[in-house]
Structure 1
Amino acid sequence: MNNPSEPRGLKLLITGANGYLGREVVRQCLIAGHHLILLVRDPSQCPIEWDIDQRIEIVEADLANVVTVPQSDVVVHLAASMSGVAAVQQRDTVEATRSLLIASLRTDQPPAFVQASSMSVYGATELDAGDAVTEETPLEEHSHLRDAYCRAKLGQELLFSTAAADAGLPLQMLRIGAIWGPGRLWNAHLGIGAGPVLFQIGKAGQLPLSHVRHAAQALRLAAEAAAQGRSGVVNVLDSDLPDRSRFLQAFRLTGWPRFVMPLPFGWMAALARLTGSRLKHGLLKVPTLRARMLPLTYSNATLRDGLGWLPEAGFEDLMSEALPEEGHDQ
């Protein structure tokens, strides 16, 4: 719901606009009346309607090598690699973020910032089953045992926090849950897929989900807040979070998995401890296993109270909408 006091007609520079989340952010920001500068690596992949929309300026840029960027009110940084390869993460996430920040700070009037971070930056080593994850939860202290994506997002956060603090600029740091919606239902918090089988690790604990339209709404609200000089750290999560059993019951309507093999979390945790987290698979490393599979709850109170975010619908309604378009590839 729009608030009359919200700034209208901002000039937003958006990276990662061609991605799954980015296209929804573009749509919602246009509806809200903002003008957009889209930094994209390959303009030929942009929707054709962007070329004829006078509110959109498309700029071709490789963020890892960008030197200058157009003037804007707020930079909304969505671009990040999803690759598990450390070198790719370093270039396309960390180095790209550094280049973008340097270029943004060189403009005549440096902008406010919105960073699309991830719930993966939190550590769970010191948490107990049933604990709630909030913005006060400590960040991962054993990142060397986590995946390259987690390490890169931690690196992004450090770069943004340092740059914004040094320059005295507003920063909205949004830690977004596992983004889902039509065409993207699977997430890494369910277990291990092998052919028609899912090895389900535990049944309890909420899944830290963020529907694509919910996440886009949060990013648009964050950009408007940053333009007003407001900074903050916000966990972006749906209000209606299913536990693993509830999610899997709905997900199986896709036709996968055909078989479910339950693996108690305690067994996996014991195996990871016995092997000293030396085995190759990420879920056999204690920090990764606990971050993804420890039964936890999640709060979005800051999102609702601080940004005025409202959920569009509950889990079952959103899942029902997504299911006809969902295919699963294991």
Structure 2
Amino acid sequence: MGALNLAITGATGYLGRAVVSEARARGHRVRALLRDARQAPHEWASDAGIVAQPGGLERLTATDLAGVDAVLHLAAAMSGDDAAQEHDTLAPMRALLAAMAGCHPVPRLVLASSMAVHGGMRQGDTVTETTPLEDQPQHRDAYARAKLAQESLARGHGAATCAAVAILRIGAIWGPGRLWNGHLGVGVGPVLIRMGSDGQIPLAHRDRAAGMVVRAAEVPLQGVQIAQVLDTDLPGRARYVAALRRGGWPRVVLPVGWPVMRALSLLGPLPGMPGLLRAPVQRARIMPLTYVSQADWLGDLPTQTFETAMSAALAAERKTHG
């Protein structure tokens, strides 16, 4: 297909930089929507195909999006309470959608959502795009609630404007510089308390996720389409930690099985109880599950084994840190 004009939010983040690189590699022009132009990496200045557009999403207008074919919305707070999520995730998205709605034609929306929106799973379930959304968000963390709200906003935007909307539920993004994720357990110094052993970790390597985000702007699309973005070789926790230890951490692994974790959660919510001891969080992060993407509309990309990808990530980290 021909070159597209892509507006990208969150373009300077861990995933965002990879998305910008992938978009340019595929010949697309990039408009990076930034709060401050000084956030732009130095290498962007030498690429005429990347324009850093400062100002923040709250002040965005339809004029700022003139000529844009698709908006890749990656910006979101990764932590914080409900007030922080409202300020940093939901309010900016509402402003973005209002600006998009004023465009003629309305650009396609590609939303980077999360596997955290699912709920109601039971041990041994396979999680797909049709797995129900969490119906008790009050028991989850603020991040999960914000992602549920983002998806609702995206659907409403698609219904109101008849614009194409791609919702990508991306797994735990990992790669060089980000080898830890909350599905593993709790790290204390050189020790990892590995919680659970069975089931898969819903991983999405940074480069694969970036490729899928750009592809969602390219493929034929009508209405609202949903796809899970996952690696094709998903390890369990024991396999992940065994590969991770080749980088020197953790030095000690203390395994705590799912039955023990489940029993601890039955104590009920206690003041100051860590999130991983709460039943709704356990179901989302530790309960033995498998994950499969059934969305054929997005297609697939070449992939590699988990161990190969982990070895490359560890090598990149060694190179970075000398």
Same fold at TM > 0.5: yes
5 Å matches for 1:259-298?
Answer: 259-276=252-269, 279-298=272-291
Unmatched 5+ residue regions in structure 1? 1-6
Residues 155, 224 of structure 2: 8 Å contact kept? no
> Which residue does 1:23 correspond to in 2?
17
Q: Secondary structure at the match of 1:222?
A: helix
TM-score (norm 1): 0.91
AA aligned opposite 2:72: V
Deviation digits for residues 164-219 of structure 1 (CA, Å, limit 9, x no counterpart): 11111111100000001111110100111122221111111111000011001101
Name the count of aligned residue pairs: 316
How many angstroms apart in 2 are the aligned matches of 1:277 and 1:131? Answer: 28
Q: Secondary structure at the match of 2:177?
A: coil
Q: Secondary structure at the match of 1:306?
A: coil
Deviation digits for residues 123-157 of structure 1 (CA, Å, limit 9, x no counterpart): 1xx32222100001011112112111111111111
How many angstroms apart in 2 are the aligned matches of 1:105 and 1:182? Answer: 37
Residues 14, 77 of structure 1: 8 Å contact kept? yes
> Which residue does 2:297 correspond to in 1?
306
TM-score (norm 2): 0.93
Residues 272, 284 of structure 1: 8 Å contact kept? yes
Residues 214, 238 of structure 1: 8 Å contact kept? yes
> Which residue does 2:311 correspond to in 1?
320
Q: Does 1:49 align with 2:48?
A: no
> Which residue does 1:245 correspond to in 2?
238
The 3 A distance-change label for structure 1 pair 93 and 278 is same
Q: Secondary structure at the match of 1:275?
A: coil
Q: Which among 130, 139, 143 is matched to residue 149 of structure 1?
A: 143
> Which residue does 2:207 correspond to in 1?
213
Q: Secondary structure at the match of 1:288?
A: helix
How many angstroms apart in 2 are the aligned matches of 1:20 and 1:27? Answer: 12
How many angstroms apart in 2 are the aligned matches of 1:195 and 1:106? Answer: 51
Q: Which among 66, 73, 88 is matched to residue 69 of structure 2?
A: 73
Alignment root-mean-square deviation, CA? 1.7
AA aligned opposite 1:284: L
How many angstroms apart in 2 are the aligned matches of 1:231 and 1:138? Answer: 16
Q: Secondary structure at the match of 1:109?
A: coil
Deviation digits for residues 11-55 of structure 1 (CA, Å, limit 9, x no counterpart): 111111101111111111111111111101222121223223222
How many angstroms apart in 2 are the aligned matches of 1:203 and 1:229? Answer: 40
Residues 155, 165 of structure 2: 8 Å contact kept? yes
How many angstroms apart in 1 are the aligned matches of 2:317 and 2:161? Answer: 44
The 3 A distance-change label for structure 1 pair 256 and 180 is same
State the 1:8 CA deviation: 1.6
How many angstroms apart in 2 are the aligned matches of 1:186 and 1:224? Answer: 31
Percent identity between the two aligned chains:
47
Deviation digits for residues 69-120 of structure 1 (CA, Å, limit 9, x no counterpart): 3221111101111123322211111111111000111123211110000011
Moved more, 305-314 or 112-121: 305-314
> Which residue does 1:192 correspond to in 2?
186
Residues 15, 76 of structure 1: 8 Å contact kept? yes
The 3 A distance-change label for structure 1 pair 51 and 12 is same
The 3 A distance-change label for structure 1 pair 119 and 207 is same
